[in-house]
Structure 1
Amino acid sequence: MTPSQPRTKRRSLTQWARDFDSRSPLKWDIALPAALLLVAVLSYVFGQWGHWHEDFGPTFALPLAMWLLHVIPLIWRRRYPVAVLAAQAVPVTLAVITGQAISAELAVVIALFNVALRSPIKALLSFGVLIAANIFLTVGPWPEPHANTLIENMVMPWLFVLLFGWLIRSRRAYQLAQRETAADQAVAAERSRIAQEMHDIIGHNLAVITALADGGAYAARSSPERTEEAMHAIGSASREALSELRRVLYVLQDDKEPAELSPQPGLPDVESLVERVRATGLAVGLRYEGELPQMSPGMGLVVYRVVQESLTNVLRHGSPARSAEVTISANAERLAVTITNTGPVPADSSARQQPSVSLSKENESGQGIFGMRRRAEAYGGTLEAGPKATGGWHVTLTLPT
């Protein structure tokens, strides 16, 4: 047997006990007191085995009643731990009055443990004070040997049980806090992902619609026959935006009726994206270099979103005589996507030498260039963005293949 086998067995037994407890808590609540009662009765019977006499029945009735008073309240130990512990005083008092000693310390220990595990801190402090008072009132008048025996056999174990229960309770609270923190982080990450998707979808399509509307207004004066073409393009961009938005928001729906879903856009969809941007009047070139690799849907989405965000920024911030170029190159080790656009030469010479940009207020919220960079890093890639020395802007995405 390997060293790991006993640990695996212990873990499985622990898991079985937890599963049984969660599925049938009432059965477990009853099973433990019943087991304690059975052990106590058998111990008493076997202890009296050589001393049978005619009045054994009446003599046995008193300890049996005291055991029942000890174990029956344990059925409610989880719901009313303080009351169950207080109920243990009844058979203890009865034992002192009658002089009938029974072995029921385990029932008291279980009641103490549940108080430490489930009761408020104030209850724990109260029982600590009661135990201290018990030490002072009970041990004080006794001779030293008897006092030491009482402390060692009763008081110290009680304090240890209270401490042990409190430690387990603290550990459970810590684990619960960890799970809640992990859940909050997962929710925040999903919220950030949805916000990024909505930013990419809405931002791009609104930029396209705005450019088409401006072009349509100009065409209405100079070339009326192109107005209808611009309106159709606006309608197409709007419908696509709504379709993608429904797909993203589907994860937030609580109803069971499935929404009409479409596949996530990827590398093959870059060409249709470029065509849609060209319809706004922006001159966009698209060039492929090398054989494009097979990519996972997630990595293909990164390429699509980076190209989409870059062209959206050109539509938002570019000059009227602007143009853009998208180059996708691949080899055996990496895929590189470069998006450039024309523009004025930076007046500040330091801007020509700075390949990356500082995060703006928008970027700090997880959008824009920072959002693109985060997408790339999630797949082991890099993203650089900044002004070109010859004028304009460049974005370069590199992903491993």
Structure 2
Amino acid sequence: MLGGPVAYRGRAAVHAGERGARAPHPARLRLYAVAAPTGAAMTLNRQGRAMTEAAAEPGDAHPVRHRDRVQRTETRLQRTRTAVRLTRYADLASMRAVRLVRAARRWGLRLPPMVWDSVLPVLLLLNIVTTRAPQELPVAVVLTAALALPLVWRRRAPLAVFGAVAAAAFVQWLMDVQLPADVALLVALYTAAANSGRRGTLVAGAVVEGGALLACLRWTTEGAFLTPFVAMTAMVVAAAVLGVNVRTTRAYLAAVEERAARLEQQQDQQARLAVAEERTRIAREMHDIVTHNLSVMVALTDAAVYAQHRSPDRATTAMLQISETGRQALTDMRRSLGILRTDEPDAERHPLPGIAQLEALAGQMCAAGLPTRIEVQGGHTHIPATAQLTVYRLVQEALTNTLKHTPAGTRAKVRIRCSTETVTVDVTDSGPCPPLAGVAPSGHGIAGMRERSAAYGGRLRAGPLPGGGWGVHTRLFLGSSGTASA
């Protein structure tokens, strides 16, 4: 049925009986047998998969080349697995190294600076102990200690440490002893440049440069003076420049931190001032609203009580005025306090009372028993809403004071003169002057009016009039650029 003999070879098939390996499935073998071409031999690889080889004569080399190709493929696969495994190990090792470095850095930051400053002296002493001959060891150890040990205190007293190291180096030069601890001079120069001014840096650099010149004159061979001197000069300049750079960077960072702290303090002060101003504004608004409306309500209540038996209609009208005044007071309070609440709708906060509402205010005062006449000269549509609110509160407070402190029969007159740059407010009444007119008032009404007027560059005058009565006068500057001269 097949085109040729089919042979089943491979480790899995040959040793199936010996090792108990599972033989290939019969259906898979039939599929392989059908797919195999005529005259081909089918072989099982190590994974139990079938592969065919062309049938050849005894001298043909095709099966051998196929086996070599399979072996090369397996070798490449094995090398790829090994490379992947090594890469994985390298990644793990690098992650562990990074963790160790971070842990060492955190641990090192906890150590005091003197511990790190002690590392170089210890290394220099160990180098001398392990490299010097026994007969040279005492002198070398003493000079190395004199050069290196002062570096432990270099952060506390940089100039003193530099002087001690320079003196030890000069003694070393006099004794004609060469030591690797001379690097302590560069470290001391760097510390002095990083912690002192320009003059100290120049003096320290000149001292080290002089020591380099003396060292080159004594310890260099003939004809080789220039090269070591230039190299030592370069190291001296590098140490000084590095120290100056560190000092400059430190000063810049300190200036930036100071500026940030100053700005933060200014912002806090501005925030506190803004809060204080807002608190004062709310206190003024509440004082004007509560004082005016309560005064009107008290006056209307007295009138209703007086007229309830003689004229019930007038008592009913007064009670209705009391109700309307109370509702108006609640509305004004919602307008003033609504700005503090983010969920308050704009319809309850606006519009603010202004010059156009003075007629309604005069009607309230007339109903409370104070006949009031309003006179507005000039157009007021160009005046800002905040300035109109100030005018309204000034007139309201002045009329409230007249209502509280004058007897029945007193009349009040309000005159507003508007121009492009100023608004003049005059409130007068015909009542008698208070007995203590010259004494400063104990309440907050006139003080609040002065504050409102001062916000627009105005100066408020409140006092008795020459012909009798009481008057309040101020002038508001809409540009807030001038000083009142009212």
How many angstroms apart in 2 are the aligned matches of 1:306 and 1:378?
Answer: 12
Instruction: Give the 3 Å change call, closer, same or farther, for CA 138–228 of structure 1 in structure 2.
Output: same
- Which residue in 2 is equivalent to 1:192? 280
Question: Do the aligned partners of 2:297 and 2:326 also contact (CA within 8 Å) in 1?
Answer: yes
Q: State the Cα distance separating 1:381 from its structure 2 match.
A: 3.4
Residue 155 of structure 2 corresponds to residue 131 of structure 1: yes
SS of residue matched to 1:390: coil
Structure 2: gaps spanning 5 or more residues: 1-93, 128-151, 174-181, 197-246, 479-486
The structure 1 residue matched to 2:261, chosen from 160, 170, 173, is 173
Question: Do the aligned partners of 1:216 and 1:231 also contact (CA within 8 Å) in 2?
Answer: yes
Question: Do the aligned partners of 1:205 and 1:237 also contact (CA within 8 Å) in 2?
Answer: yes
Question: Do the aligned partners of 2:370 and 2:410 also contact (CA within 8 Å) in 1?
Answer: yes
How many angstroms apart in 1 are the aligned matches of 2:108 and 2:261?
Answer: 18
Q: Deviations over 1:137-176 (max 9, x none)?
A: 8974641595653322135426736666545434333322
Instruction: Give the 3 Å change call, closer, same or farther, for CA 277–182 of structure 1 in structure 2.
Output: same
SS of residue matched to 2:369: coil
- Which residue in 1 is equivalent to 2:476? 399
How many angstroms apart in 1 are the aligned matches of 2:377 and 2:371?
Answer: 20
How many angstroms apart in 1 are the aligned matches of 2:293 and 2:303?
Answer: 15
SS of residue matched to 2:471: strand
Question: Do the aligned partners of 1:346 and 1:391 also contact (CA within 8 Å) in 2?
Answer: no
Instruction: Give the 3 Å change call, closer, same or farther, for CA 176–290 of structure 1 in structure 2.
Output: closer
Question: Do the aligned partners of 1:292 and 1:329 also contact (CA within 8 Å) in 2?
Answer: no
How many angstroms apart in 1 are the aligned matches of 2:277 and 2:264?
Answer: 20
Q: Deviations over 1:345-376 (max 9, x none)?
A: 5779xx7xxxxx775443xxxx4223222222
For 2:110, the aligned partner's letter is A
Q: State the Cα distance separating 1:68 from its structure 2 match.
A: 7.7
Question: Do the aligned partners of 1:385 and 1:394 also contact (CA within 8 Å) in 2?
Answer: yes
How many angstroms apart in 1 are the aligned matches of 2:285 and 2:433?
Answer: 32
How many angstroms apart in 2 are the aligned matches of 1:378 and 1:248?
Answer: 18
- Which residue in 1 is equivalent to 2:339? 251
Question: Do the aligned partners of 1:131 and 1:155 also contact (CA within 8 Å) in 2?
Answer: no
- Which residue in 2 is equivalent to 1:204? 292
- Which residue in 1 is equivalent to 2:370? 282
- Which residue in 2 is equivalent to 1:56? none
How many angstroms apart in 1 are the aligned matches of 2:419 and 2:351?
Answer: 26
How many angstroms apart in 2 are the aligned matches of 1:235 and 1:243?
Answer: 12
For 2:471, the aligned partner's letter is H
- Which residue in 1 is equivalent to 2:324? 236
Q: State the Cα distance separating 1:396 from its structure 2 match.
A: 1.6
Question: Do the aligned partners of 2:338 and 2:344 also contact (CA within 8 Å) in 1?
Answer: no
Residue 335 of structure 2 corresponds to residue 298 of structure 1: no
How many angstroms apart in 1 are the aligned matches of 2:100 and 2:262?
Answer: 33
Question: Do the aligned partners of 1:337 and 1:397 also contact (CA within 8 Å) in 2?
Answer: yes
Q: Deviations over 1:31-76 (max 9, x none)?
A: xxxxxxxxxxxxxxxxxxxxxxxxxxxxxxxxx9xx9899857997
Instruction: Give the 3 Å change call, closer, same or farther, for CA 82–390 of structure 1 in structure 2.
Output: farther
Question: Taking structure 1 as the reference length, what is the TM-score of the superposition?
Answer: 0.61
SS of residue matched to 1:222: coil
How many angstroms apart in 1 are the aligned matches of 2:350 and 2:381?
Answer: 23
Question: Do the aligned partners of 2:374 and 2:413 also contact (CA within 8 Å) in 1?
Answer: yes
Residue 312 of structure 2 corresponds to residue 224 of structure 1: yes
For 1:188, the aligned partner's letter is A
How many angstroms apart in 2 are the aligned matches of 1:304 and 1:95?
Answer: 84
- Name the count of aligned residue pairs: 293
- Which residue in 2 is equivalent to 1:42? none
- Which residue in 1 is equivalent to 2:169? 143
Please tell me the root mean square deviation across aligned C-alpha atoms, in Å. 4.1
SS of residue matched to 1:325: strand
Structure 1: gaps spanning 5 or more residues: 1-63, 100-127, 352-356
Question: Do the aligned partners of 2:282 and 2:336 also contact (CA within 8 Å) in 1?
Answer: yes
Q: State the Cα distance separating 1:197 from its structure 2 match.
A: 1.0
Higher RCO, 1 vs 2 (CA within 8 Å, ≥6 residues apart): 1
SS of residue matched to 2:466: coil
Higher Rg of the two aligned structures: 2
Question: Do the aligned partners of 1:388 and 1:394 also contact (CA within 8 Å) in 2?
Answer: yes
Instruction: Give the 3 Å change call, closer, same or farther, for CA 86–132 of structure 1 in structure 2.
Output: closer
How many angstroms apart in 2 are the aligned matches of 1:346 and 1:207?
Answer: 18
How many angstroms apart in 1 are the aligned matches of 2:477 and 2:100?
Answer: 69
SS of residue matched to 1:228: helix
Counterparts of 1:375-390 in structure 2 under 5 Å? 375-390=452-467
Larger proportion of helix = 1
Question: Do the aligned partners of 1:69 and 1:90 also contact (CA within 8 Å) in 2?
Answer: no
How many angstroms apart in 1 are the aligned matches of 2:104 and 2:319?
Answer: 77
For 2:359, the aligned partner's letter is E
How many angstroms apart in 2 are the aligned matches of 1:400 and 1:287?
Answer: 20
Counterparts of 1:326-341 in structure 2 under 5 Å? 326-331=414-419, 334-341=422-429
How many angstroms apart in 2 are the aligned matches of 1:233 and 1:337?
Answer: 27
Question: Do the aligned partners of 2:162 and 2:192 also contact (CA within 8 Å) in 1?
Answer: no
- Which residue in 1 is equivalent to 2:51? none
Question: Do the aligned partners of 1:201 and 1:241 also contact (CA within 8 Å) in 2?
Answer: yes
SS of residue matched to 2:412: strand
Question: Do the aligned partners of 1:359 and 1:370 also contact (CA within 8 Å) in 2?
Answer: no
Q: Deviations over 1:370-400 (max 9, x none)?
A: 3222222322334321111222210123234
- Which residue in 2 is equivalent to 1:153? 190
For 1:270, the aligned partner's letter is L
Q: Deviations over 1:60-93 (max 9, x none)?
A: xxxx9xx9899857997xxx99538869949966
Q: State the Cα distance separating 1:315 from its structure 2 match.
A: 1.3
For 1:282, the aligned partner's letter is L
Instruction: Give the 3 Å change call, closer, same or farther, for CA 178–294 of structure 1 in structure 2.
Output: closer
For 1:307, the aligned partner's letter is V
**Identical positions, percent:** 33
Question: Taking structure 2 as the reference length, what is the TM-score of the superposition?
Answer: 0.51
Instruction: Give the 3 Å change call, closer, same or farther, for CA 346–196 of structure 1 in structure 2.
Output: closer
How many angstroms apart in 2 are the aligned matches of 1:143 and 1:75?
Answer: 34
How many angstroms apart in 1 are the aligned matches of 2:109 and 2:115?
Answer: 10
Q: State the Cα distance separating 1:194 from its structure 2 match.
A: 0.9
The structure 2 residue matched to 1:266, chosen from 328, 350, 354, is 354
Q: State the Cα distance separating 1:316 from its structure 2 match.
A: 1.3
For 1:387, the aligned partner's letter is P
Instruction: Give the 3 Å change call, closer, same or farther, for CA 388–257 of structure 1 in structure 2.
Output: closer
How many angstroms apart in 2 are the aligned matches of 1:96 and 1:190?
Answer: 67
Q: State the Cα distance separating 1:319 from its structure 2 match.
A: 1.4
Q: Deviations over 1:261-319 (max 9, x none)?
A: 33110111111111111111211122234454521101111111111011110111111
